[in-house]
Amino acid sequence: MHLRLRTKDGVITITVSPKCTIRELLEEIERKTGIEVAKQKILHGFPQRELRADVEKPVETVLQSGDSLTVDRLSIGVEPEKFSSAPTESTFVRRKVPDDNSCLFHAISYVFRNGSVEELRHIISETVRLNPDLYSEAFLGKSNQEYSRWILLPETWGGAIELSILSKYFRTEISVFDIQTLRMDRYGEADNYEERVFLLYDGIHYDPLARAYTGASREYDVTIFKIWDEEALVCAKSVAEEANRNRQYTDLASFTLMCRNCGAKLKGETGAVEHAKQTGHTNFTEA
């Protein structure tokens, strides 16, 4: 049985026997995280609740393979009395990430609690470099070697190619809602993954979506959901619909961009793509 442990430092995957007890699972978490059992607060399920009850029960009676657990590391400053009972009220929210040409990578790092922007860029670069037949010039729009270098540049935006690669890397579907059209693009859909994450796209910027618990800090956000969790899908879509009603998107056909490299004013995504082909400039901002 494979379980994901969410800690402030990232996501850890552990493997335990489904026949082991909850007590044995807690001891294994202690070995993996270095957090003493007495200082652990393990939350699971929805609404989230503590795992400590019935510690002699077999794990398989409480959890399923692929489930995610939140490890409250009391030793990093979370006051024990602050969450004496697990938060139960929640809502889906849009978590803002920096608008610095790396928003896609910030969003992915947030939902998976794993990997810096630079590390995610390197994962993509290496995946492309090591698979030249799959990631050919015809597919990438530039040579394999050129793309492998280009995606490492901090001013390079991420998009569909990068999302498909990261979906395979994390073995999780990445579902992206386009605010303007309310279309949902599912990266990794054909791979039949058991879990998914949600992103919001406004035409030029990506933000992560999360289930946030009332009174809890962001480290308690739930960002990975079972693929069959229809409630999570409906809630995520409702955030996109609200953003659409408030016209929180950029119309790619009519918006104006400015090239930060040379100052050129460009009309729409088409103009930006053409300018990049002609000059090699890829650092754009909305004018």
Report the CATH number at residue 227.
Answer: 3.90.70.80
Claim to verify: residue 53 and residue 159 sit in the same structural domain: no
* Domain ranges, residue 52: 2-86
Alpha helices in 171-279 (DSSP H): 230-245, 268-279
| CA 138 to chain CA centroid, nearest Å | 28
> Do residues 44 and 178 share a domain?
no
Q: Which helix (H) or strand (E) holds 187?
A: strand 184-187
Query: Which pLDDT does position 78 carry in this prediction?
Result: 35
Q: What residues in the chain have per-residue pLDDT under 70? A: 7-11, 35, 37-40, 45-49, 52-54, 72-88, 251-255, 268-270, 273, 282-287
Query: Has residue 15 been placed in a domain?
Result: yes
- Tell me how far apart the alpha carbons of residues 211 and 52 are, in angstroms, rounded to a whole number: 23
Same domain, 215 and 116: yes
- Co-location of 136 and 240 in the same domain: yes
Who's near 138: CB < 8 A, 6+ residues apart? none
Same structural domain, 225 and 277: no
Does a structural domain hold residue 250?
Answer: no
Based on the domain organization, do 271 and 168 belong to the same domain? no
CA distance linking residue 78 with residue 74, whole number of Å: 5
* pLDDT reported for residue 123: 92
Contact, 284 vs 258, CB < 8 A?
A: yes
Do both 129 and 183 map to the same domain?
Answer: yes
Residue 251 lies in a domain: no
Radius of gyration of the chain (CA): 21
DSSP state of 281: -
Give the Cα separation of 50 and 175 in Å (integer).
29
Per-residue confidence (pLDDT) for residue 53, from 0 to 100: 58
Decide if 25 is inside a domain: yes
Residues 274, 236 within the same domain: no
Instruction: Identify whether residues 217 and 197 lie together within a single domain.
Output: yes
- Taking the CA atoms of residue 183, residue 187, residue 188 and residue 192 in that order, the dihedral angle to the nearest 10 degrees is -20
Within 8 A by CB and 6+ apart from 125, the residues are: 148, 149, 151, 152
Q: Are residues 168 and 36 in the same domain?
A: no
Chain centroid, CA 119 distance in Å: 14
Neighbour count for residue 122 (Cβ, 10 Å): 15
Is the same domain home to 278 and 239? no
Q: Strands 173-178, 195-201: parallel, antiparallel or unpaired by DSSP?
A: parallel
Q: Check whether residue 82 and residue 171 sit in a common domain.
A: no
Q: What is the dihedral of CA 18, 22, 28, 31, to 10 degrees?
A: 170
Active site positions, annotated: 100, 103, 205, 281
